[in-house]
C-alpha cells in the first residue's frame, strides 16, 4: 500500500464534508447528476440545483420522458448548459439501452452520450465502489505536489499522471480504492488548494515532495485561466437566461437587447443554434423541445 493512502484516508474520516451525493442513501443516478453538475462548478453552487433536479427527476427515466429543453431550463445558472443537454441524452440512453439503471462499469458508462473518461471513472467509483483511477483537478494537484514536487500538474491529463494514479490507488488493505479517490479529492479541495494551500494542516505534509523542496513556484506552461467577463460565454449565458425565463418564443429584436456588440451577439447566438441549445422558429428563439 502506498504510504500516502493511510494518512489521507484517516484524515478524510474526520474531515469530509457531508455532501448529499456521498451518503449511502444516494442512488447511482444521484451520483451521476452530481458529477455532471460539478464539472467546472464549485460545490456550493451545486447543492441546491442538485436537490431540485433529483426532486423533479429522481430517475433517468423521469428525465428522459421530458423534452431536452426542460433539462436546459432546470439547469438554470449553473453554466455550461451543454452539460444539461448531455445529461438528458445520457438519461435517454440509460432508459432505452440499460433498463433505466445507470450502468456499473467504466466502459459502459463511457459509452453513454456526454460521459468522458473522468466522469465514467468517478461514477463507477463513487456510485458502485469500483477500483478506478479518478483524476480530477484536486487529485492531480495533490499527486503533483506530494509525489512529483511540482506546484501544479500539467494543463491536461497526461499518460504519466494516469500511470502514477494507478500506482497510488490501493488494490487491497483497509482502505478501498473508492475511499482513496474521495479522500484525495477532498484533500485537494479543502487543504491542498490551488491558491492558499494549508500545509500546516495537511496530513501528508511531512512526506510531501513539494513541501520538502521549499514549495517552489510553478515553472511549467502558463496555467489556463477562467475568464468570463466580456467573453462569448457570457453572451451565451445572457441569451440562455432570456430563453429559460420565457414560455414563448423570444423575437430576435428582444435578443438584441442583452448585449451591446452586435457581431459578438450574433456569433454567440449562432453557436447556441449550432449546439442545439436554442431553436429558431418564425416567432423567434426557444429552448429545444
The reply to whether 151 belongs to the active site is no
What is residue 276's predicted lDDT score, i.e. its pLDDT? 93
What is residue 225's predicted lDDT score, i.e. its pLDDT? 64
Mean pLDDT of 36-43: 93
What is residue 262's predicted lDDT score, i.e. its pLDDT? 87
Query: What is the pTM assigned to this prediction?
Result: 0.89
pLDDT exceeds 90 at position 227: no
C-beta atoms surrounding 28 within 10 Å:
19
What is residue 222's predicted lDDT score, i.e. its pLDDT? 75
For residue 40, name the pLDDT band (cuts at 50, 70, 90). confident
pLDDT exceeds 70 at position 226: no
Residues 6+ apart with CB under 8 A from 204: 4, 7, 8, 146, 187
pLDDT exceeds 90 at position 169: yes
What is the gyration radius of the CA atoms in the chain, in angstroms? 21
Mean pLDDT of 84-113: 97
* Virtual torsion, Cα 80, 84, 86, 90, nearest 10 deg: 150
Q: Which of 10, 24, 35, 66 is catalytic?
A: 35
41: cell is: 462548478
Q: Which residues pair with 286 in a beta bridge?
A: 279
User: DSSP per residue over the chain, as a string?
Assistant: --TTHHHHHHHHHHH----GGGSTT--HHHHHHHHHHTTTS-HHHHHHHHHHHHHH-SSHHHHHTS-HHHHHHHHTTSS-THHHHHHHHHHHHHHHHSTTS---SHHHHHTSTT--HHHHHHHHHHHH--------HHHHHHHIIIII--SS--SS--HHHHHHHHHHS-SSSSS-HHHHHHHHHHHHHHTS-SSS--GGG-TTGGG-HHHHTT-PPP-SSPPP----TTSHHHHHHHHHHHHHT-SSPBPHHHHGGG-S-HHHHHHHHHHHHHHTS-EEETTEEE---
Mean pLDDT of 49-60: 98
Fold for the domain defined by 232-286: Arc Repressor Mutant, subunit A (1.10.10)
Each residue's pLDDT tens digit, 266-286: 999 999 999 999 999 988 999
Q: How far apart are CA 41 and CA 78, in angstroms?
A: 7
C-beta atoms surrounding 9 within 10 Å:
21
Report whether 152 contacts 139 (CB < 8 A).
Answer: no
What is residue 159's predicted lDDT score, i.e. its pLDDT? 96
Least trusted range by pLDDT, from 7-11, 14-18, 63-67, 236-240: 236-240
Amino acid at each position: 500500500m502506498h504510504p500516502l493512502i493511510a494518512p489521507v484516508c484517516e484524515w478524510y474520516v474526520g474531515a469530509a464534508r457531508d455532501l448529499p451525493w456521498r451518503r449511502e442513501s444516494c442512488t447511482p443516478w444521484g451520483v451521476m447528476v452530481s458529477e455532471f453538475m460539478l464539472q467546472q462548478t464549485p460545490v456550493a453552487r451545486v447543492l441546491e440545483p442538485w436537490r431540485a433536479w433529483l426532486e423533479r427527476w429522481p430517475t433517468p427515466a423521469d428525465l428522459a420522458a421530458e423534452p431536452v429543453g426542460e433539462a436546459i431550463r432546470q439547469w438554470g445558472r449553473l453554466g455550461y448548459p451543454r452539460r444539461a443537454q448531455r445529461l438528458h441524452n445520457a438519461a435517454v440512453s440509460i432508459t432505452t439501452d440499460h433498463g433505466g439503471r445507470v450502468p456499473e462499469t467504466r466502459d459502459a458508462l463511457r459509452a453513454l452520450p456526454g460521459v468522458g473518461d473522468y466522469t465514467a471513472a468517478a461514477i463507477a467509483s463513487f456510485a458502485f465502489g469500483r477500483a478506478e483511477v479518478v483524476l480530477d483537478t484536486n487529485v492531480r494537484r495533490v499527486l503533483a505536489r506530494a509525489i512529483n514536487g511540482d506546484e501544479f500538474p500539467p494543463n491536461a491529463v497526461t499518460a504519466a499522471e494516469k500511470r502514477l494514479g494507478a500506482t497510488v490507488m490501493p488494490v487491497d488493505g483497509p482502505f478501498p480504492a473508492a475511499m482513496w479517490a474521495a479522500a484525495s479529492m477532498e484533500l485537494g479541495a479543502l487543504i491542498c488548494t490551488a491558491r492558499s494551500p494549508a500545509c500546516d494542516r495537511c496530513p501528508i505534509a511531512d512526506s510531501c515532495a513539494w513541501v520538502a523542496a521549499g514549495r517552489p513556484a510553478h515553472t511549467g506552461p502558463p496555467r489556463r485561466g477562467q475568464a468570463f467577463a466580456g467573453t462569448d460565454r457570457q453572451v451565451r449565458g445572457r441569451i440562455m437566461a432570456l430563453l429559460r425565463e420565457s414560455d414563448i418564443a423570444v423575437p430576435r429584436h428582444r435578443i438584441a437587447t442583452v448585449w451591446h456588440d452586435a457581431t459578438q451577439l450574433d456569433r454567440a447566438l449562432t453557436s447556441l443554434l449550432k449546439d442545439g441549445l436554442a431553436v429558431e422558429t418564425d416567432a423567434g428563439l426557444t429552448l429545444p423541445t
